[in-house]
Structure 1
Amino acid sequence: MRVYGLETEYGLVARVREGAAIRRLSADDAAQRLFAPLAREHRSTNVFLRNGGRVYLDVGSHPEYATPECRTPADLVVAERAGDEVMAGLVERAVAAERAEGRETAFVLLKNNIDPYGNTYGSHENYLVGRDADPDALAAWLVGFLVSRQLIAGAGRWRRGVFTLSQRCDALAEVVSNQTTRSRPLINTRDEPHADPRVHRRLHVISGDSNCSDRASLLKVAAAELVLRLAESGRPAPPAPVDPLAALRAWGRDPGAGVRLADGTQASAWEVQERYCTLAREVAEPAAWQPWRDTLDALTRGDAPPAAEWAVKKRLIEAHRDRHGLADADPRLDALDLRWHELGTLPDGRPRGLARLLEARGALPRVSRPDAVAAALREPPSPTRARVRGRLVAAAQDAGRDVAADWASFVVHDLPDHPGGRRPADVALRLDDPFAADSPEADALVARMAVEPRLSVVGGFVPPPLRGEDGVARPSRG
Structure 2
Amino acid sequence: MRERVFSLETEYAIAFQTQGGNQPPNKELIVKALCQQLEERCGIPGSQFLVNGSKFYYDVGHAEWSLPECRSAYEAVVYDKAADQTLSSIIADAERVLINQGFQGQLLVIKNNVDASGNTYGCHENYLAQRQTQWLGWEDYLWLTKRYLIPFLVTRQVFCGAGRVGFGQKLEEGIGFQLMQRADFIEEVVSSETRKQRAILSLAREHEPLAKGNYRRLHLILADTNMLGWATYLKLGTTGIMLRMLEDMGFREIPHLLDPIQTLRQISRDPSCSVQVPLQDGRQLTAIEIQRIYLEQAKGYFGQHPISADEQQIMQIWEDVLNQLATDPMQLFGKLDWVTKKSLMDRYLQNVGMQWGEVLPGEEVYYKLLQLDIFYHNLCSENNLFYRLLKDKPDTLVTAEEVLIAQSSPPPYTRAWVRGTAIAASRKMGLNVEIDRWDDLKVNNRKVVLPDPLKFFSPELYAILSNSAALPTVTEHSRYNIVIFSSDNNIGQNLANKLVGLGYKQARLQDKPNLEFNIKWNNASNSMIDEIVNIMCQELELDDVQICRRYGEGRNDCIHINLGGLVAPSLPILQRDRYSITIMSPNLDMGESLADELGSINYRTHIVLPEPTSEFSIKWGSATEAVIDEIVSILSKKFALRNTQIKRLQKFNLEDNRIFISLYSPRNGFLQKFLNFGKRIVIV
TM-score range, shorter chain: 0.7 to 0.9
> Whose relative contact order is higher, 1 or 2, with alpha carbons under 8 Å and at least 6 apart?
1
Q: Corresponding residue for 1:365?
A: 395
Contact 1:219 1:292 in 2 (8 A): yes
1:317 matched to 2:353? The reply is no
Q: Corresponding residue for 2:72?
A: 72
1:192-247 residue CA offsets vs partner (Å, 9 max, x unmatched): 56543313111111111110111111111111122222212213451321221111
Report the AA paired with residue 143 of structure 1: I
CA distance in 1, matches of 2:458, 2:274: 52
Q: Corresponding residue for 1:343?
A: 379
Report the AA paired with residue 233 of structure 2: L
Report the AA paired with residue 222 of structure 1: G
Larger Rg: 2
Q: Secondary structure at the match of 2:373?
A: helix
Q: Corresponding residue for 1:384?
A: 414
Q: Secondary structure at the match of 1:175?
A: strand
Identity of aligned residues (%): 31
Contact 1:193 1:200 in 2 (8 A): no
Q: Corresponding residue for 2:385?
A: 354
Which of 421, 424, 437 lines up with 2:456 in the alignment?
437
Q: Secondary structure at the match of 1:115?
A: coil
Once the two structures are TM-superposed, the CA of residue 409 in structure 1 deviates from its matched residue by: 1.2
1:149 matched to 2:152? The reply is no
Once the two structures are TM-superposed, the CA of residue 138 in structure 1 deviates from its matched residue by: 2.0
CA distance in 1, matches of 2:384, 2:381: 8
Q: Corresponding residue for 2:570?
A: none
TM-score (norm 1): 0.83
CA distance in 2, matches of 1:35, 1:441: 29
Report the AA paired with residue 8 of structure 2: L
Contact 1:405 1:411 in 2 (8 A): no
Contact 2:234 2:314 in 1 (8 A): no
Q: Corresponding residue for 1:215?
A: 230
Q: Corresponding residue for 2:511?
A: none
Report the AA paired with residue 371 of structure 1: E
Q: Corresponding residue for 2:328?
A: 302
1:179 matched to 2:198? The reply is no
- Change in Cα spacing, 1:307 to 1:193, as seen in structure 2 (3 Å) is farther
Once the two structures are TM-superposed, the CA of residue 29 in structure 1 deviates from its matched residue by: 4.9
1:262-287 residue CA offsets vs partner (Å, 9 max, x unmatched): 33322221221121122221234653
- Change in Cα spacing, 1:256 to 1:162, as seen in structure 2 (3 Å) is same
Once the two structures are TM-superposed, the CA of residue 406 in structure 1 deviates from its matched residue by: 1.3
Report the AA paired with residue 58 of structure 2: L
CA distance in 2, matches of 1:429, 1:442: 7
Q: Corresponding residue for 2:110?
A: 110
Once the two structures are TM-superposed, the CA of residue 308 in structure 1 deviates from its matched residue by: 2.7
Contact 1:410 1:428 in 2 (8 A): yes
- Change in Cα spacing, 1:328 to 1:279, as seen in structure 2 (3 Å) is farther
- Change in Cα spacing, 1:450 to 1:360, as seen in structure 2 (3 Å) is same
Report the AA paired with residue 287 of structure 2: A
Contact 1:194 1:408 in 2 (8 A): no
Q: Corresponding residue for 1:408?
A: 439
Q: Secondary structure at the match of 1:107?
A: strand
Q: Corresponding residue for 1:8?
A: 10
CA distance in 1, matches of 2:214, 2:281: 35
Contact 1:385 1:434 in 2 (8 A): yes
In structure 2, stretches of 5+ residues that fail to align are 134-140, 167-173, 361-365, 471-684
CA distance in 2, matches of 1:197, 1:135: 19
Contact 1:219 1:307 in 2 (8 A): no
Matches for 1:177-256 after TM superposition, within 5 Å: 177-189=191-203, 190-191=205-206, 195-234=210-249, 235-254=251-270, 255-256=273-274
CA distance in 2, matches of 1:298, 1:341: 25
In structure 1, stretches of 5+ residues that fail to align are 347-351, 416-426, 452-478
TM-score (norm 2): 0.59
Q: Secondary structure at the match of 2:16?
A: strand
Contact 1:4 1:71 in 2 (8 A): yes
CA distance in 2, matches of 1:250, 1:296: 18
Q: Secondary structure at the match of 1:202?
A: strand
CA distance in 2, matches of 1:375, 1:53: 14
Matches for 1:93-132 after TM superposition, within 5 Å: 93-132=93-132
Report the AA paired with residue 339 of structure 1: F
CA distance in 1, matches of 2:399, 2:181: 27
Number of equivalenced pairs: 429
